[in-house]
Structure 1
Amino acid sequence: MTDSLLRRGQYSVAPAQQRDVTEARELCATDPVANVVPAMHLETASRAGAIPKGLWVVRRRGRGSRDLAGVLWCGANLTAVLPTDGDEADDARAEVAAAIVARLSRPAALVGDAELTLDLWGRVEPWWGPARQLRPHQISMVTDRDPEPVESSRVGVEPLRQASMDDYPHLLPAAAHMFMGEVGYDPLQHGREAYEDRLTYLVRAGCSYIMYGNVHGTRDVVFKAEVGVVGGGVAQIQGVWVQPSLRGLGYGSEGMVQLVKRVREDHAEAVSLYVNDFNTAAIGAYAAAGFERVGTFATVMF
């Protein structure tokens, strides 16, 4: 696992440089839905002229300095873009796994294309395991068209809109409830400052959407979601939540239909998300909003 051993391999893993950005973006463009996270950070690097700390590249040794084999983003989560076929895939993944264990801190999760993510997980598990949660079959979905509008007959439901900081006292408990159900712990008890910083950033960036309605005689949030990532012409939806007492009544489908239209207007032409394969209600709501399956994701949480 030492750097001296890694130097003998066919690949090197190094912090990205400005000269790598164009080629790295081309690699991400081979699957813009799966690679939206590194694509976003590469676009930031291109605009700002500075490379984010968590952006790494995989170079083939003994070839042109611009001959890249992969891209890694290692922030709170680690997402990889690496070869998918043949001997090169196995060799590259083996060396990248050794490099990330030796040189990177363990992230909160590995996330991305299921085949690649689970392969990397199998290679790093002896050092980074055990996993707190493993979700090996998450459905990756995308749409690039406005859905058919849904005519609501619900009294008191307001149109979906971008959240503002005035909404924050209502948005925070809904977001925390969603996070607890999805990740398994209360972000307001563990890591509250970082969690609130992130949510505040999304609200101020116009990436948080909220819908109010009548919840048992009180105006409250009935649906909310965030655009967590935008890159490569794709906006990835995260944090979809429906008021628990109203689930199964069509609020999720109605919210998603309005959300897709707004996100396509505000952020990117293609809208993506991924969802646990056992969440049949959510899958149905996404399908009703025009989403189609394009792949399988996996998440390994620590």
Structure 2
Amino acid sequence: MLSKVAPWLASRNEAGLGVRVLGAADTLALRALANEDPVANVFILAHLDSVGTAAPTSGGAKVYGVFDDDRLIGACWAGANMVPVQLDPALVEHIAAAAHQAGRRYASIFGPAESVLALYSKFEQLGHFAHEVRERQPLLTISGAPAIPANPSLTFGTMADFDRILPACAAMFEEEVGYSPFLGGQDFYSRRVAGLIRQGHSLVHIDADGTVVFKAELGAVTRDVTQVQGVWMNPGLRGRGESAGYMAAVVNLAKTFAPVTSLYVNDFNAKARATYERVGFTQAGTFATVLF
């Protein structure tokens, strides 16, 4: 659909295009839009499954929609992060202008690379500059059985293990983005980790000494797709070739929620990409992440 939008943008009357914050009445339209690519849009689909509405959240997160008259043709989640939803690059200026006028600061933009990079280009023109831009992050999926045996030690985390899981999550976050998730306080990130554990979305191996050996989270879950995030092997136990077995176990546990397991990885992380390939993941698209 979006490939058919661009040709008329230059010639049609711009009054036919509008941007507004979505409300409850737009829920079905947003879900239909996101379902055009349920893997790439698992974040917003999981949100809709959780809250049941496209309306703004109590915390102030909202979804901007681009309309051609009354037809929703693109959207973008705007909360702590910005996440494009089937947003043709030709439409990003409308979203960028609305988000800029709202005056909110965002930690990142992530999602399909073309949309993310086009949106960031408009943000740069409006005076918002990134700390880092990761332009190519292969989006990987697996729908069959893992290609290698799974490590049976991986299991679902419990709240009894929270005090061990939280430091491991914080270490992974700092290693990945370059700063502590506890900057400005520990409460928000701690609630996020606890929420994942309570939902059964925390996967961990804690050895007999109480050390977290490996952990990952299912950051977004629908009945069709899970998206794995926060993959982390204890630094003292790396280099033994064990990550692939743990990732095979991640796939098996994720399949208790949905048939397709997905994740995205930095293109420069050759070791991780090789591990995912061993497990049986294949590329389904390309994401990008802009870190502010």
For normalisation by structure 2, the TM-score amounts to: 0.87
Q: Runs of 5+ in structure 1 lacking a partner?
A: 1-7, 153-157
| Cross-structure match for 1:146 | 145
| Cross-structure match for 2:97 | 98
RMSD, aligned α-carbons: 2.3
Conserved? CA contact 2:63–2:75, under 8 Å: yes
Match among 74, 87, 90 for residue 70 of structure 1: 74
Conserved? CA contact 2:23–2:56, under 8 Å: yes
Match among 19, 26, 29 for residue 32 of structure 2: 26
Instruction: Give, in angstroms, the shift of residue 104 of structure 1.
Output: 5.2
1:269 aligns with 2:259: yes
Q: Residues of 1 paired with 2:103 and 2:30: CA distance?
A: 20
Match among 158, 169, 172 for residue 166 of structure 2: 172
| Cross-structure match for 2:116 | 117
1:235 aligns with 2:242: no
More deviation, 246-255/235-244: 246-255
Superposition misfits of 4+ residues, deviation over 6 angstroms:
none
Say which SS state the counterpart of residue 39 (structure 1) adopts: helix
| Cross-structure match for 1:155 | none
More deviation, 242-251/197-206: 242-251
Instruction: Give, in angstroms, the shift of residue 58 of structure 1.
Output: 2.1
Amino acid at match of 1:220: T
Q: Residues of 1 paired with 2:65 and 2:150: CA distance?
A: 50
For normalisation by structure 1, the TM-score amounts to: 0.84
Instruction: Give, in angstroms, the shift of residue 191 of structure 1.
Output: 3.4
Q: Residues of 1 paired with 2:85 and 2:245: CA distance?
A: 34
| Cross-structure match for 2:239 | 248
Match among 14, 20, 25 for residue 14 of structure 1: 20
Conserved? CA contact 1:109–1:301, under 8 Å: yes
Amino acid at match of 1:74: A
Say which SS state the counterpart of residue 69 (structure 1) adopts: strand
Instruction: Give, in angstroms, the shift of residue 159 of structure 1.
Output: 1.4
Say which SS state the counterpart of residue 187 (structure 1) adopts: coil
CA 1:51–1:95 in structure 2 vs 1: closer, same or farther (change >3 Å)?
A: closer
Instruction: Give, in angstroms, the shift of residue 35 of structure 1.
Output: 1.2
| Cross-structure match for 1:222 | 213
Instruction: Give, in angstroms, the shift of residue 129 of structure 1.
Output: 2.3
Instruction: Give, in angstroms, the shift of residue 175 of structure 1.
Output: 0.9
